[in-house]
Each structure stands twice: as C-alpha cells, then as structure tokens.
Structure 1
C-alpha cells in the first residue's frame, strides 16, 4: 500500500559561472610569428586578447599591465566568477623567476587563475592553496628554460671563436 513520505527539500543547483578569460600574447621581435598564438587564445574563448611585440629586455609591458588591470576589474565586479589570465606559453609571460613570482603574487592577491595553453605544464592553475606551490615551481621552470635558451648561443659563439670565426667579421 502506498504511503506519502516526507516532503522533498528543494536544493538549488550550484552556480556554475562561466570563467572570464583574458588572453595575453607576446613575441620578442616583430619578425617572430604571433598569429598562431592569437588564434590559440581565440579558440580558448578569451573575452579580450592583449598582444605586444616587445623585447624580453624591456621591463615595462603595457599590454600585460592592461590585461592584468582588466582581469582585476572583472574579479572586483563579480568576485564569484572565475577570472583566468590565459597565455600561450609560460616563457612569454615573464622574463625570469623573480618576475614570475611577482606576477604570481599579484594573481594570487586578486584571486586570478593562470592558464597555459601549450608546453609541458598545460592547464589552469589557481594561485591559492596547492596552486601557490605550483606557481613557485613554474617560476623555477621558467628560469631554467631561460638560462638554457641564453646558454645555447653563447656555446655556439665559444665554439666559433675557438675555430677562429669571430662575430662581426667576414
């Protein structure tokens, strides 16, 4: 025989806010290819993409600063919405470990996540909790990669000099 049970409690579904992605792409020279990086950011569904062609040696990156400012504005306007700074690859984000640590501290303070689209560390990283430790690992990895990139041409120059080939001569 059927008997009515207790009333069902209506539980609202958890809010799943669609993340806001802010894209940033950089090349060191005008000769380097930027289109594929911009396309990757487009397919990652970035709301706005900032791009610049500026040397790694230049400390001030106006477009990166604009991207970070916009990310902070989105986060302040809607704190519950995930805001993600999306970059094509880690080495295009910061010049060295110290700069990456400064950037990660800024992301962490603002509650902004970092997304890497390519490379061995592809994924989305939250700079809070366990993510903070990962940001430190990212910084070290970025510094190691930069050192490697810097050492290769120097090794070539040493080898060329040992063979009597000097830079700048014909």
Structure 2
C-alpha cells in the first residue's frame, strides 16, 4: 500500500488551508499559496515528483488542483501514468488511469466548470475596476518609486549603471527599472 499524499492550494499568502483535507489522514502534504491560473506551482511540481506507483494524491476539490480543463486533465493523466491514484475529496471522485468514460466525462465537465468560474471572476473584476475608474475611485497600483527616486533611477541609467544594480539599490525588479527608464 502506497502513501497518501495531500495537495492543498490557496490563492494568496493570507488565506488559510485548514478546511482543505480536514479529516483526511495524509503521510505527506504539499501546499501552494499561489493562483491556480496555471499549473506552474512549486508544491504541485514537488508533489507530482514525489508521488510513486501505488500512492494516492488527495486534493480537496478539482479547482484546487487546476482552474482549466487542459491543466486538470494533464496533471491527472501524468499521475495516473505513474500508477498514482488521484482522489478529489469534495467531488467524491477517484481517477486511476483505468477510468470509465463516465469518470472521464465528469473530470472534463467539472474541470470546465472550474475554468468557467475563473473566467467569470476575472470578468467581474474587470467590470468592477472599469466602474470604479469611471467614478474616479480607482487609482490603480501605488507607484513603486517616489518621483525623487524615479529621477535618481533615470540618472543612474544615464550614468551607465547596470539594470541589476539599480534594481538591487531600490529593491525593485529589473522590469520595473525598464518601465521607469
């Protein structure tokens, strides 16, 4: 009998994973605090690498594993190809790689619902921002640098200082240096 491997995901650092896998006994748990917009998440990669034939990966719900059908099917397929069972606690579904057409349809349909849900969230967010901008209540993100710092950055660039050195000096990304110069 293999190990029970838990995978949890929340979208932000301040969110809590307590409700996920509550009451599920796991030998090891991997947790990501990142958006589910794509499958490029460190703990997910570690969990997939860690899982061996005979293991079971348990996830609270499909939308915690992936927010689009392609990623969901790919992750489940890759794990099943290794002989790993994938269980979705909330949906009560288990995938082994030898699944029935009904199971595969459910995986695709429920994955599509998660993808649709994410699209609707983004659409509502864009609409809300547009309304707030029209009312003058949305100012956007706070500038990374003050106007004095921006002037200093431009002078440093003009003097030939490297983008990396400038980024380190101000504690900003290289892209932000490019945006200001």
Q: TM-score, normalised by structure 1?
A: 0.67
Task: Identify the match of residue 154 of structure 1 among 88, 103, 126.
Answer: 126
Q: How does 1:7-86 map to 2 (within 5 A)?
A: 20-37=3-20, 40=22, 43-56=23-36, 60-71=40-51, 73=52, 75=53, 81=54, 83-86=55-58
Q: How does 1:52-131 map to 2 (within 5 A)?
A: 52-56=32-36, 60-71=40-51, 73=52, 75=53, 81=54, 83-118=55-90, 122-126=91-95, 127=97, 128-130=99-101, 131=103
Q: Residue 36 of structure 1 aligns to a residue in which SS?
A: coil
In 2, the alpha carbon distance for the partners of 1:141 and 1:61 equals: 21
Cα shift at 1:50 = 1.0
Detail structure 1 runs of 4+ shifted over 6 Å in the superposition. none
Asked if 1 retains the 8 angstrom alpha-carbon contact of 2:10 and 2:32, the reply is yes
* Structure 1 residue ranges without an equivalent (≥5): 1-16, 76-80
Aligned CA distance change for structure 1 residues 58 and 124 (closer, same or farther; 3 Å):
closer
In 1, the alpha carbon distance for the partners of 2:72 and 2:39 equals: 12
In 1, the alpha carbon distance for the partners of 2:84 and 2:3 equals: 10
Query: What does residue 167 of structure 2 align with?
Result: none
Larger RCO (CA under 8 A, 6+ residues apart): 1
Q: Provide Cα deviations, 1:134-161, integer angstroms capped at 9, x if missing partner.
A: 2222321221111122122112112223
* Structure 2 residue ranges without an equivalent (≥5): 142-181
In 2, the alpha carbon distance for the partners of 1:21 and 1:124 equals: 15
Q: Residue 12 of structure 2 aligns to a residue in which SS?
A: coil
Aligned pair count? 138
Q: Residue 30 of structure 1 aligns to a residue in which SS?
A: coil
Q: What is the root-mean-square deviation in Å for CA atoms of aligned residues?
A: 2.6
In 1, the alpha carbon distance for the partners of 2:122 and 2:39 equals: 18
